[in-house]
């Protein structure tokens, strides 16, 4: 057993300082993500900031990734897990493969770190990190081949037979670096600028609301939850029934509705959407005995800041919902990055 001190001068014994030791400060305090401010237009390109992704000019089956600095958590072969600082010094073109599958696919674009090259890099160190894509059938979960050590930059929608990629098909999935502050009152702060708000400390994000006014549904429409039980960060709108994410991360969502006398063979569907993409569906078919069946949908949704969560309802024959705080409600809580 021994106690070691990292990052020392060589001294007369020619002490060696390893890269792992130098990376210690970043590993201890900095979470992976992009350095400095990042923004997008409605969650899609054009983006600003480091590692922003945009269409090419002229349009092509490729996207351009800008310069930037980020941190990726990786375990170089034979070493311990550490946060590596990855710099992109020039715009990089990333080729998007053709799609002839017959359905829309999604290319998840990552900054990837190779563990072998991280332990034994080339002379310039430019072989350790690369930009790679993983083709998925989903825009919500990467069911393709996500790299082991990476940080996500964007998700590119690739329509069947697409001949080019435009900005509207590029969803921004970057996150900013986080800094963990070991303090009794602060567990984690998202450092964006000189001011750290309570929302950036993850302390005031979440809401619960319910439907109070009478309402009926047939064709699919948003459920407007018009009364709040609580709204910690003023992120829920009782005018639209939608929750707007104040920070990037994962949000736990639970929604419940009850239909008044659904009736025999009638069908009701409750859907959850994140950034206008359906992520959850609950269905019930009425019984001949009648009754007021309930529907519940629960999911964890990844959003970037300013994207929205909503619930919708459709019923094969127009029916009313039971209203009130225990019959028709939605609860949203921020889980974290």
Sheet-wide strand order for 62-65? 53-55, 62-65, 92-95
Q: Look up residue 119 and give its DSSP letter.
A: H
* pLDDT reported for residue 251: 94
Torsion region of 291: left, alpha or beta (phi above 0 gives left; psi -120 to 50 gives alpha): left
* pLDDT reported for residue 22: 81
Give yes or no for a contact between 287 and 322, defined as CB atoms under 8 angstroms apart. no
pLDDT of 189 over the 50 cut: no
| Residue bearing tokens 């502050």 | 181
DSSP letters along 81-116, please? -EEEEEEE-S-EEEEPPP--SSS-EEEEEEEEE-HH
* pLDDT reported for residue 2: 67
Q: What is the Cα–Cα distance from 159 to 227, expressed in whole angstroms?
A: 40
What confidence tens digit (pLDDT) does each residue in 5-38 have?
Answer: 676 777 888 877 778 878 887 788 888 999 988 8
Output Rg (C-alpha) for the chain, integer angstroms: 24
- Region 82-86 average pLDDT: 93
Total residue length of the chain: 337
* pLDDT reported for residue 20: 80
pLDDT of 291 over the 90 cut: no
Q: How far lies 218's CA from each of 80, 226, 262, 313, in Å?
A: 57, 19, 11, 8
DSSP letters along 5-68, please? --S---TTTTPPPPHHHHTHHHHHHB-SEESS--EEETTEEEEESTT-EEE-SS--SEEEE--E
| Nearest 10 degrees: Cα torsion 103, 274, 314, 292 | 130
User: Mean of the per-residue pLDDT values for the chain?
Assistant: 88
Helical (H) or strand (E) element with 143: none
Q: How far lies 19's CA from each of 25, 26, 136, in Å?
A: 11, 12, 35
pLDDT of 44 over the 50 cut: yes
Question: Can you tell me whether residue 235 is helix, strand or coil?
Answer: coil
Does this model's pTM top 0.85? My answer is: no
Burial of 75 (0-12, 13-18, 19+ CB in 10 A): middle
| Domains recognised in the chain with CATH numbers | 31-172 (no CATH), 199-336 (2.60.120.40)
- Region 146-164 average pLDDT: 96
Residues near 120 by beta carbon (within 8 Å), at least 6 away in sequence: 77
Question: Can you tell me whether residue 296 is helix, strand or coil?
Answer: strand
């Amino acid at each position: 057993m021994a106690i070691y001190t990292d990052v020392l001068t060589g001294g007369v014994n020619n002490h060696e300082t390893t890269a792992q030791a130098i990376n210690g400060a970043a590993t201890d305090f900095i979470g992976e993500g992009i350095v400095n401010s990042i923004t997008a237009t409605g969650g899609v390109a054009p983006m600003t900031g480091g590692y922003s992704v945009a269409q090419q000019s002229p349009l092509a089956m490729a996207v351009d990734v800008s310069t930037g600095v980020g941190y990726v958590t990786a375990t170089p072969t034979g070493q311990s897990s550490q946060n590596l600082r990855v710099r992109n010094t020039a715009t990089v073109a990333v080729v998007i493969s053709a799609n002839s599958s017959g359905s829309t696919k999604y290319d998840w674009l990552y900054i990837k770190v190779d563990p072998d090259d991280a332990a034994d890099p080339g002379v310039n160190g430019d072989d350790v990190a690369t930009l790679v894509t993983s083709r998925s059938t989903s825009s919500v979960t990467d069911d393709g081949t996500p790299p082991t050590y990476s940080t996500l930059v964007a998700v590119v929608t690739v329509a069947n037979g697409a001949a080019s990629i435009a900005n509207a098909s590029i969803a921004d999935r970057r996150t900013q670096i986080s800094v963990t502050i070991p303090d009794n009152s602060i567990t984690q702060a998202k450092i964006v600028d000189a001011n750290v708000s309570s929302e950036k400390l993850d302390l005031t994000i979440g809401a619960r609301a319910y439907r109070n006014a009478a309402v009926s549904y047939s064709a699919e429409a948003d459920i407007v939850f018009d009364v709040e039980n609580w709204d910690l960060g003023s992120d829920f709108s009782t005018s639209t029934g939608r929750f707007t994410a104040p920070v990037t991360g994962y949000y736990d969502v639970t929604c419940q509705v009850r239909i008044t006398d659904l009736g025999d063979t009638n069908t009701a569907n409750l859907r959850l959407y994140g950034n206008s993409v359906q992520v959850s569906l609950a269905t019930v078919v009425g019984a001949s005995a009648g009754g007021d069946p309930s529907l519940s949908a629960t999911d964890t949704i990844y959003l970037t800041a300013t994207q929205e969560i909503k619930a919708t309802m459709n019923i094969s024959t127009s029916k009313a919902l039971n209203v009130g705080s225990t019959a028709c409600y939605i609860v949203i809580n921020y889980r974290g990055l």
